[in-house]
Amino acid sequence: MTPPREQAGPTDVLGDDAAVRIFRTMATIRSAENRIIRGLNSGELTMTFYTVRGQEAIPSAIGEHLHREDYMVTTYRGLHDCIAKGVPLDELFAEMCGKFTGTSKGKGGPMHLSDPHSGLMVTTGVVGGGLPIAVGLALSSKLRGDGRVTVVNFGDGATSIGATHEAVNLAALWQLPIVFVCQNNQYGEHTKFADYTRSSSLAERFAGYGLSALSVDGNSIPAMSAAAEAAIAQARSGEGPTFLECMTYRLGGHSFGSTTEYMDPAELAQAEADEPVGRNRRWLVEERGIAEDVLQQLEAEVEAEVDAAIEFAKSSDPPPASELLTDVFSRMEAAPK
């Protein structure tokens, strides 16, 4: 049985180009969320939306080490995962707005996003429901020997679901090429982590299934990148799965319109002060020597890209009535006699 690893520290082995690429993805995610929130507040946009503020560093660092053909499974709180996996912004926003130009012709919407061309295979609205699907994808990769790695994202609340434990157990037993990414944002919907488990470390709990498991600072680009690189390399080389407990904090209510009254104000304020976009921006400037004007230009570029994608989505048409039954039912032809 593989023992749990120690808490992963901020090992700084990234080159400047990779660090800036990861930050660019984070800035895109933050800009996208800000633009969606503005649109929802003004009535310009109408959709179900679950905030990802505070979780930007996790998929951004992971995405740096994935191939386009690698698989990803995410949850309804998955805007950041979709962007980090490379789903085109215009098609992503169009799908979220229910438009025909979206990744699923507007039929999936914001809670059921998928884009197989980018490797984003499914978004599940069922807590913990993505892990068995991801295990199936990883099993298919192993049987075919195609070299793909599957990454499945889920929140800490999903670790109380039976399907999660069944999936992790099978992945460890079969040594599948999969990385389990628990984005531990400290809340399962409205319930604080300490109020639904006596476990102080999910990594230690899941190490009991006989796979590599570690807890990592989910707000740190270098720490997340080092952990993701090792886990993905292990999976790709056939050495089995890894469980990553990525420690972060959800900087908002459960969904758009939710309050944060159930959160400890002092704890929330401390988490806000350590939020990953600002923290890693300071790290790039102060410790990596990246020029301020480089980051300002980058931020202006991603904001323009997000604005253009939103305009594309707004100007697109919804699916026509002729699409009502397309992609829903398959016609069963009678077998020849």
Q: Which two tokens stand for residue 155?
A: 């929140």
Residue type, position 138, single letter:
A
Q: What's residue 89's pLDDT?
A: 98
Going along the chain from its start, the domains and CATH numbers come out as: 16-317 (3.40.50.970)
pTM for this predicted structure: 0.92
Integer Cα distance of 95 and 91 in angstroms = 6
Q: Please report which helix (H) or strand (E) contains residue 233, including its range.
A: helix 221-236
Q: What's residue 4's pLDDT?
A: 38
Q: Which two tokens stand for residue 292?
A: 């301020």
Q: What's residue 335's pLDDT?
A: 64
Q: What's residue 12's pLDDT?
A: 54
Integer Cα distance of 331 and 337 in angstroms = 18
3-state helix, strand, coil in the chain (%, to 5): 45, 10, 40
Q: Which two tokens stand for residue 187?
A: 């809340």
Q: What's residue 330's pLDDT?
A: 74
Integer Cα distance of 244 and 226 in angstroms = 12
CB 283 within 8 Å of CB 240: no
Q: Which two tokens stand for residue 11?
A: 């090992």
Concatenated DSSP letters of 17-82:
HHHHHHHHHHHHHHHHHHHHHHHHHHTS--------TT-THHHHHHHTT--TTSEEEEESS-HHHH
Q: Which two tokens stand for residue 56?
A: 């930007």
| Mean pLDDT, contiguous 10-residue spans, the chain (337 residues) | 41 84 98 98 95 97 98 98 98 97 96 97 95 98 98 96 97 98 94 87 96 98 98 98 97 91 93 96 97 98 98 97 86 68
Q: What's residue 7's pLDDT?
A: 47
Of the candidates 111, 31, 51, which has an alpha carbon nearest to the alpha carbon of residue 255? Answer: 51
